[in-house]
Amino acid sequence: MYDTILVPVDLADSGKAPAMIAAARKMANDGARIVLVHIVQDIPTFVAAELPGGVMEKTQNEARKTLEAMASEYGAGIEVDVGIGQPASGILAVAKERQADVIVIASHKPGLQDYLLGSTAGRVVRHATCSVHVMR
């Protein structure tokens, strides 16, 4: 069905990743690329100025190592991409860059803040230029 499948993983809630990867494998054509992506939340400049140098790079490297370990657990054909920024925008940027055919994203039970601001999954669904498969 799809050749390039993007699977955004929230490392704070990585328990949903196995089901998302399994769904991505079911949707994948032979030789398809599955890309696990995590976007490290950017911090405001006034806060970053007070932090020791290299904190964001260290966080990004740790996220990459975690995703690489997860990818090796699930076998060949899984790539890793880690960025810094706002999660929904970062996911959409990676999808565009990698020319994703579909994004497999997890959702959660909406809370009050989601009704006021919207969730990451909601933003991705509204702004993606490719298909989006939302998993509860």
pLDDT tens digits, 4-58: 999 999 998 888 999 999 999 999 999 899 999 999 998 877 776 777 777 888 9
What is the pLDDT averaged over residues 65-79? 90
Q: Are strands 2-8 and 78-85 parallel, antiparallel or unpaired?
A: unpaired
Instruction: Quickly count helices (H) and strands (E) in the chain.
Output: 6, 5
The yes-or-no verdict on residue 97 having pLDDT over 50 is: yes
* pLDDT at site 113: 52
Single pTM value for the model: 0.88
User: Per the structure, how many domains does the chain have?
Assistant: 1
**Beta-carbon neighbour count of residue 15 at 10 Å?**
8
Q: What's 105's domain CATH number?
A: 3.40.50.620
CB atoms within 10 A of CB 45: 7
Instruction: Please check whether residue 6 is in contact with residue 103, taking contact to mean a CB–CB distance below 8 angstroms.
Output: yes
Residues 83 and 86: their CA atoms lie apart, in Å, by 9
What was the pLDDT predicted at 44?
78
Over residues 72-101, mean pLDDT: 93
The rounded mean pLDDT for the chain is 88
Instruction: Tell me which residue range forms the domain holding 55.
Output: 2-135
